[in-house]
Amino acid sequence: ITLETTIGGRHFDNCMMNAAGIRCQTNKDLDALVASKAGAYVTKSATPHKRAGNPAPRMHELHLGSINSMGLPNNGLDYYLNYVVEDEQKRPDSTNFLSVAGTSLEDNLAMLHQVQDSNFNGFVELNLSCPNVPGKPQVGYDFDRVNTVLNEVFQFFTKPLGVKLPPYFDLVHFDQIAEILNQYPLTFVNTINSIGNGLVVDPETEKVVIKPKGGFGGIGGISVKPTALANVRGLALRLKPEISIVGTGGILNGQDAFEHILCGASMVQIGTQFGYEGTRVFDRVSQELTEIMAHKGYETIDDFRGKLKTFD
Ligand SMILES: O=C(O)c1[nH]c(=O)[nH]c(=O)c1I
Neighbours of 197 (CB within 10 A): 16
Mean pLDDT of 184-195: 98
Ligand 1, residue 133: give the atom nearest the CA: 1
Confidence of residue 263 (pLDDT cuts 50, 70, 90): very high
Instruction: State percent of the chain over pLDDT 70.
Output: 100
Domains of the chain: 5-54+72-195+222-303 (3.20.20.70)
Ligand 1, residue 73: give the atom nearest the CA: 3
Provide the pLDDT for residue 134: 84
pLDDT surpassing 80 at residue 63? no
Residues near ligand 1 (Cβ within 6 A)? 21, 45, 68-72, 101, 127, 129-130, 132, 193-194, 218
Provide the pLDDT for residue 185: 98
Provide the pLDDT for residue 299: 98
Provide the pLDDT for residue 116: 98
Best residue among 129, 130, 224 to mutate for probing ligand 1, ranked by most atoms within 8 Å of CB? 130
pLDDT surpassing 90 at residue 47? yes
Q: Of 114, 116, 112, 96, give the one whose Cα is nearest residue 104.
A: 112
Burial letters for 79-93: b for 16+ Cβ neighbours within 10 Å, e otherwise? Answer: bbbebbbebbeeeee
Q: Which residue owns the Cα nearest ligand 1 atom 11?
A: 130
Confidence of residue 136 (pLDDT cuts 50, 70, 90): confident
Provide the pLDDT for residue 71: 97
Provide the pLDDT for residue 171: 97
pLDDT surpassing 80 at residue 6? yes
Q: Is the dihedral of CA 304, 238, 193, 116 positive or negative?
A: positive
Provide the pLDDT for residue 304: 98
Ligand 1 center to 119 CA (angstroms)? 27
Mean pLDDT of 56-83: 95
- Say how far apart CA 115 and CA 39 lie, in whole Å: 22
Mean pLDDT of 268-281: 98
Which amino acid would we find at residue 50?
K
Provide the pLDDT for residue 193: 98
Provide the pLDDT for residue 89: 98
Best residue among 72, 77, 128 to mutate for probing ligand 1, ranked by most atoms within 8 Å of CB? 72
Ligand 1 center to 123 CA (angstroms)? 19
Mean pLDDT of 271-288: 98
Annotated catalytic residue 130: yes
* Range from 15-24, 99-108, 129-138, 153-162 carrying the lowest mean pLDDT: 129-138
Provide the pLDDT for residue 137: 85
Neighbours of 56 (CB within 10 A): 12
Q: What CA–CA distances, in Å, run from 270 to 41, 90, 111, 174?
A: 10, 25, 26, 23
Q: Are 232 and 247 in contact (CB under 8 A)?
A: yes
Provide the pLDDT for residue 237: 98
- Say how far apart CA 89 and CA 97 lie, in whole Å: 15
Provide the pLDDT for residue 64: 74
Ligand 1 center to 298 CA (angstroms)? 35
Which amino acid would we find at residue 23?
R
Mean pLDDT of 191-220: 97
Choose the catalytic residue: 15, 24, 130, 263: 130
Ligand 1, residue 127: give the atom nearest the CA: 10
Q: Which residue owns the Cα nearest ligand 1 atom 10?
A: 130
pLDDT surpassing 90 at residue 290? yes
How high does pLDDT run on average in the chain?
Answer: 97
Ligand 1 center to 295 CA (angstroms)? 37
Ligand 1, residue 72: give the atom nearest the CA: 3
